[in-house]
Amino acid sequence: MYFIAEIGVNHEADLKKAFKCIKDAKDGGAQAVKLQCYKAEKIASKYAGAYWDKKEEKENSQLKLYKKFDKFEFKHYEKIIQYCKKIKIDFIITPFDTDTIDFFKTRVKYFKISSSDITNLPLIKKIANTKKPVILSTGASTKIEIKRAFNILRKKSKKIIILHCILNYPTKKENANLNMILDLKKDYKEVGLSDHSIPIDSHKILIYSYLLGVRFIEKHFTVNKKKKGNDHFHSFDKKDLKIFFENLNDLKIILGKKFKTFLKSEIISRKNARRSIFFNKDLKKNQKIRRDDLIMLRPAIGISPFEVNKIYNKRLRKNKLSGELLRLSDLKK
């Protein structure tokens, strides 16, 4: 499982908080962290309203909200990238304008294109031209919109990961629609999940997605889920991440082998719970064995009842008592 801890702007433009988020993500088991890079005026106009839970984030203007957290410059991201290298965790970025792409193209493992930019042709083209691997989220998208973006990316990018995503903050469990993953897998080689549900639902949703073949997950991440703001309340923290990987490891153990056979632990059951052929009556030497002369009893220490049709009408080489085990040596050829 490749798990991306989506820090986004939960660092609140504070380097110390960013480092803390990254360290917690690493300690929790994440393979990568992802941040967002933007300037508010290059994302939203003054007309862009809220599409998040107003109980958790009261700001109604996208422009005003984004201005709170767009204070990082390239020099700050450089320090973050170096810190990620130091603690050995992959760094991924979601650029929200074309001006930032050149800086990051030699510094990231993947570029992430957010669901909101799946129709942003200039951004998609510029990311494709970097020839870097790309993660494409598909929240609020049609299959035509996804295919259109994918076709542009695949001209230059050798690796493209499609993420099933629901663009609700938070995503209610009844809206998770994990079956859409199976639909996406019909058209795309690598399909993962970007999840925005609250943690109590996420633990189930992420595990269920694994059963549908997902091996690439993105989940918002924070050091404090109780903190007010648009993304903190539906994020994982270090404890959640550890629980997820514990559950995932348990699931892998539970899923077990991919081919059907009996286990070593079942050998004693095969012997003691299965049956052999026993005599149901006292029989004399040379007597022909009839159907009602035999009974199938536990344990499986003799001839399998599956072979009983081969026994009928055979003659005995010696006298046998009721309750005795039938052996091949008892039979005349």
279 lies in the same domain as 222 = no
Amino acid 228: pLDDT? 81
- Given 226, 255, 284, the domain boundary residue is 255
160 lies in the same domain as 272 = no
Q: What angle do CA 230, 36, 62 make, to 5 degrees?
A: 45
Q: Is the pLDDT of residue 29 over 70?
A: yes
Distances from the Cα of 148 to the Cαs of 101, 122, 152, in angstroms? 21, 13, 7
**Which residue, chain included where needed, has tokens 């005026």?**
41
Q: Is the pLDDT of residue 54 over 80?
A: no
Q: Mean pLDDT over all residues of the chain?
A: 95
41 lies in the same domain as 93 = yes
Whether 312 contacts 289, CB under 8 Å: yes
Whether 143 contacts 132, CB under 8 Å: no
Mean pLDDT of the 269-297 span: 98
Q: Is the pLDDT of residue 328 over 80?
A: yes
Amino acid 231: pLDDT? 86
Distance, in Å, from the CA atom of 22 to the CA atom of 24, rounded to the nearest integer, reads 5
CATH number, position 133:
3.20.20.70
Q: Is the pLDDT of residue 184 over 90?
A: yes
Distance, in Å, from the CA atom of 30 to the CA atom of 87, rounded to the nearest integer, reads 12
163 lies in the same domain as 294 = no
The least confident of 33-47, 148-162, 212-226, 298-312 is 33-47
Q: Is the pLDDT of residue 229 over 70?
A: yes
- Given 255, 273, 299, the domain boundary residue is 255
In the chain, the number of structural domains is 2
* pLDDT tens by residue, 113-161: 999 999 999 999 999 999 999 999 999 999 999 999 999 999 999 899 9
Q: Is the pLDDT of residue 18 over 90?
A: yes
78 lies in the same domain as 149 = yes
Mean pLDDT of the 188-200 span: 97
Mean pLDDT of the 2-27 span: 96
Percent of the chain with pLDDT over 70: 100
224 lies in the same domain as 318 = no
Distance, in Å, from the CA atom of 122 to the CA atom of 120, rounded to the nearest integer, reads 6
CATH number, position 296:
3.90.1210.10
Mean pLDDT of the 209-215 span: 98
**Structural domain of 279:** 264-330
- Given 221, 255, 289, the domain boundary residue is 255
Structure tokens at 56: 């958790």
Identify which of 18, 138, 26, 120 has the alpha carbon closest to the alpha carbon of residue 72. Answer: 18
81 lies in the same domain as 221 = yes
219 lies in the same domain as 241 = yes
Whether this model's pTM surpasses 0.85: yes
Percent of the chain with pLDDT over 90: 85
123 lies in the same domain as 7 = yes
Amino acid 178: pLDDT? 98
Distances from the Cα of 92 to the Cαs of 60, 107, 117, 133, 261, in angstroms? 28, 9, 16, 10, 43
* pLDDT tens by residue, 78-107: 999 999 999 999 999 999 999 999 999 999
Residue 30 pLDDT class (50, 70, 90 cuts): very high
Mean pLDDT of the 214-221 span: 98
The greatest distance separating any two alpha carbons of the chain, rounded to the nearest whole angstrom, comes to 103
* pLDDT tens by residue, 237-282: 999 999 999 999 999 999 999 999 999 999 999 999 999 999 999 9
Q: Is the pLDDT of residue 188 over 80?
A: yes
Q: Is the pLDDT of residue 53 over 80?
A: no
Distance, in Å, from the CA atom of 308 to the CA atom of 286, rounded to the nearest integer, reads 18
More confident site: 53 or 203: 203
162 lies in the same domain as 20 = yes
Q: Is the pLDDT of residue 324 over 90?
A: yes
Amino acid 52: pLDDT? 67
206 lies in the same domain as 293 = no
- Quote the radius of gyration of the chain (alpha carbons, Å): 31
Whether 303 contacts 288, CB under 8 Å: no
Residue 333 pLDDT class (50, 70, 90 cuts): confident
Q: Is the pLDDT of residue 230 over 90?
A: no
Amino acid 213: pLDDT? 97
154 lies in the same domain as 172 = yes
Which residues are CB-neighbours of 239 under 8 A, at least 6 positions away?
Answer: 28
Identify which of 193, 188, 181 has the alpha carbon closest to the alpha carbon of residue 154. Answer: 188
Distance, in Å, from the CA atom of 13 to the CA atom of 77, rounded to the nearest integer, reads 10
Q: Is the pLDDT of residue 227 over 70?
A: yes
